Structure 1
Amino acid sequence: MVENFGPGAIDRMGFPWEKIQEINPRLIYASIKGFGPGPYDDCKVYENVAQCTGGAASTTGQIGGVPTVTGAQIGDSGTGLHLVAGVLAALFQREASGKGQRVTCAMQDSVLNLCRVKLRDQQRLTHGPLTEYPQYPNGEFGDAVPRAGNASGGGQPGWIVKCKGWETDPDAYIYVIAQAQAFSGLAEAIGRADWLDDPEWNTPRARLPKLDEMFEEIEKWTMTKDKMEAMGILNPLNVPCGPILSMGELAQEESLRQTGTVVEVDHPERGKYLTVGNPIKLSDSPAEVERSPLLGEHTEEILTDVVGLDPEGIARAREQGAI
């Protein structure tokens, strides 16, 4: 059983976990809530609230700007994915124990888990400045992990730079990471091979205080290429990079259609529309995405095949207003 009612709703219906265990000891009862036990456990939460209370918004945004929520549904979908993992673990455990169990996921907890690198950086901050953040060495660090714009984490400097056509195309950009292992190829590609013999540039430590200048030079080159052309040049050099793809571009991307990541669904009322397919690819059991059912479309089928009612019983239920 899976539910995401407001806090305490199932208990008020007369079905606390203890009662559910009595009814069916093998049942796995999965719940998503906004917060775990504590001072906020009775608060209502939506996607953006989860991002704000889970640490995502405070660490996302431009330097000196306001906290920013991401367009990815890390609170809703992210918590759902965590819950699936918990349910699968409970199902596996039931094979050994014969017992079901309660599985709970709080949206705040799930967002924080997805922000665990930032929590790691919070611990590092107590030992000195975070040298891969753009605030180093000329900016200031406070008591908490700061917002860092589009800087790459993990000690690998990265930034979004303009490409040809950026003046009229809001997505004419590419993300480039100046990974140490691929820096020589990157420097040569952008016409700055001189950096490779210059002690002011040829080590990661030497480049750290000059990341702004480095990406300005990279951007001078990318502005002469469209984003796909830039990727085509940098990718064979093992330079990590990725074009900024709009939703319009993704909807038309043929490779995503072929893999079933983007699928077209035909609905009797809505007509044909695009939706995201299953991002998980299984070799022996591929998923087929079908349209959502109409309201009441399968009522009689479920009452017959699952509940076991005969046509007379269904008719009586309709007369009584149960259906």
Structure 2
Amino acid sequence: MSDTASPGALTGIRVADFSRVLAGPYATMMLADFGADVIKIESPGGDDTRSWTPPVDADGQSTYFGAVNRNKRSVVCDLHTEDGLAKARAIAATADVVVENFRPGVMERYGLDAATLQAANPALVYCSISGFGREQGATLAGYDLLVQAVGGLMSITGQPDAPPTKVGVAVVDVLTGLNALSGILLALRERDRTGLGQRVDVDLLTSLLAGLTNQASSTLATGISPTRLGNAHPSIAPYEVFEASDRELVVAVGNDKQFRSFATILELPQLADDQRFATNASRVSHRGELRETINDALCVRSAAHWVSACAATGVPAGLVNSVGEAFDFAASLGLDAVAQTSDEATGRIQIQPANPIHLSHVPARYERVAPALGEHDGAVWLDEAARASVADVPAQP
């Protein structure tokens, strides 16, 4: 595929991506989707997720790796060798942004840390992603499951009478990747004003704690930690999963007007005047009785019937879809949730979730499939900017 492309929002920005697995690669893919030239710098063994199989795509590549590495170029740099380290430094010296998620201290050991690189290039934006920060938590491994546990998410996920449960995707990594993306863009905007780059630090633990939003704020305000409620909401009812005659559905009533409409749909209008259920606060207090009453009413007809009836009167409701059904549902709403990337040179095709950010003038584009390991070694190392920069890179300490 040609390296030339139609201008994107980030065309002209080069990213040296030293990150692996999910949080960092997710952030850099988001940058790449909008035109940044992302050079994925890998060890000879490659990103760990290259071997996280099954499942694999039509080309036998890990779908996990492919999910967060499209639109990038891959080069191999063995940082344990003089040549590999020189190559990595040369690429970093040409970058506007460096992203890394090594344990704190590793990049310093190779002379690829923020202080060293910014001494030579004060305009550099340097983003570090860690599990638990760069100080006391520096030695702790930042795995998503571990952070879900110690960060409190598992304590509020799952049924009340069941063990703590993780979310079904590495949601902490995704949150942290989005925070890294935001921090990088903020730093680039500030660089536009001052000409100076800066360090961006994000970590998994505080990303999760911030992402707990209302659950975190209630804990801080009251000193009481919330507990598992299954699919129920701590402050709203009815707002959970119910059983129809054929499958499950969700009803998400957000106010008293919606509840009155919902009671009418159920052919139980008297519920809206029952003092146990007349207000949201009273419904929360009598959640168990309300759930039983609603389930008894819903079980006589199909979930599709109830969803259709709710939609007609503005009551939020929906089927509990599989992932495949969810993509079909998005398509039925006219949403572009799927992106197909084709590589003309190799014939490879990847079908993935589309970038969810929609810009009217410079939309995301899908021009490169996730690269093979070292696929662009020659193209990057022979790049004039990279070669010219070698003399300016600080020597290894």
TM-score (norm 1): 0.79
Rg larger in 1 or in 2?
A: 1
**1:160/1:68 CA distance change after superposition, 3 Å:** same
**1:123/1:19 CA distance change after superposition, 3 Å:** closer
**1:206/1:155 CA distance change after superposition, 3 Å:** closer
Aligned to 2:292: 216
Q: Give 1:26 shift.
A: 0.8
Separation in 1 of the partners of 2:134 and 2:190?
A: 24
- RMSD, aligned CA: 2.7
Instruction: After superposition, give the CA deviation of every residue in 1:190-236 in whole Å (9 maximum; x if it has no partner).
Output: 11112234334323344333222212222233323333332221123
Aligned to 1:11: 108
Q: Give 1:270 shift.
A: 9.7
**1:14/1:196 CA distance change after superposition, 3 Å:** closer
Structure 1: any 5+ residue segments left out of the alignment?
Answer: 127-142, 167-171, 310-323
**1:303/1:213 CA distance change after superposition, 3 Å:** same
Alignment of 1:150 with 2:231, yes or no, is: yes
Instruction: After superposition, give the CA deviation of every residue in 1:61-107 in whole Å (9 maximum; x if it has no partner).
Output: 21132221101332111101001111111111112222111101010
SS in 2 for 1:75: helix
Match of 1:300, as an amino acid?
G
In the TM superposition, 1:169-318 aligns within 5 A as: 172-177=248-253, 179-253=255-329, 255=331, 259-265=335-341, 274-290=351-367, 291-307=369-385
Structure 2: any 5+ residue segments left out of the alignment?
Answer: 1-97, 388-397
**1:123/1:250 CA distance change after superposition, 3 Å:** same
Identity score, percent: 28
Which of 161, 167, 174 aligns to 2:242? It is 161
SS in 1 for 2:111: coil
Q: State the structure with bigger RCO (CA 8 A, min sep 6), 1 or 2.
A: 2
Separation in 2 of the partners of 1:302 and 1:16?
A: 21
Aligned to 1:2: 99
Q: Give 1:257 shift.
A: 9.5
**1:256/1:20 CA distance change after superposition, 3 Å:** farther
TM-score (norm 2): 0.66
SS in 2 for 1:103: strand
Aligned to 1:131: none
SS in 1 for 2:171: coil
Separation in 1 of the partners of 2:142 and 2:117?
A: 25
Report the count of equivalent residues. Answer: 289
Aligned to 1:134: none
- Larger mean CA deviation between 283-292 and 111-120 belongs to 283-292
The 8 Å contact of residues 59 and 148 in structure 1, kept in 2 or not, is answered as: yes
Instruction: After superposition, give the CA deviation of every residue in 1:143-172 in whole Å (9 maximum; x if it has no partner).
Output: 522111111244454110012323xxxxx3
Aligned to 2:125: 28
